[in-house]
Structure 1
Amino acid sequence: MAGDEPVTSPDQHKPAQMKALRVGAVVTAVILLLMTMGNHTGKVEDIFLVLSAGALILMLIVDSVLRRNGLRS
């Protein structure tokens, strides 16, 4: 089977839709923050939801800084 597949380099593959991925990360962070307004009594869930949303937002900020400095396309 492997002999029938064409050999391609990584730059020949279709690039990912980065704008859609960034929008998806923002939407996911907002949804995670909206989940804190549930009918649960403990705050442990809120901590994990806020930390997860914060991690996504931090990754978007780092990506933005790297793109502005020309270190990432």
Structure 2
Amino acid sequence: MAATDLDKASTERAVATSVDPAEVPSAAWGWSGESRRAAQIAGWFVVVALLGMTIGNHQGHVEDIFLVSLAAVMALMLVIDSLTHRIPK
């Protein structure tokens, strides 16, 4: 039987990803990336934990200044991240 250029079309769709399975093993079975929702929840948990650490038996307030400023910077980063994610590309 002679070979022809007309082969049957495959019904499977090729998955186009920009992730190399050699670098990220989980890309081979379909998931590769990070969970934005889990990262946001963990970030807000850390902010609350940092603010909770200000309660205690501190004599000076140097620790409180560092804890509150670090929590504020982290909260600002989380807010900016959530706002920039909503902007369509």
TM-score, structure 1 normalization:
0.76
Which of the residues 21, 46, 59 maps onto 1:28? 46
More helix by share: 1
Could you list the structure 1 runs, at least 4 aligned residues long, displaced by more than 2 angstroms after superposition.
none
Structure 2: which 5+ residue stretches go unaligned?
Answer: 1-18
Q: Kindly report the root-mean-square deviation, in angstroms, between the aligned alpha carbons of the 2 structures.
A: 2.1
* Bigger relative CO (Cα 8 Å, ≥ 6 apart): 1
Which of the residues 56, 59, 73 maps onto 1:41? 59
Name the count of aligned residue pairs: 64
Q: % of aligned pairs identical?
A: 39
- Greater Cα radius of gyration, structure 1 or 2: 2
Structure 1: which 5+ residue stretches go unaligned?
Answer: 1-6
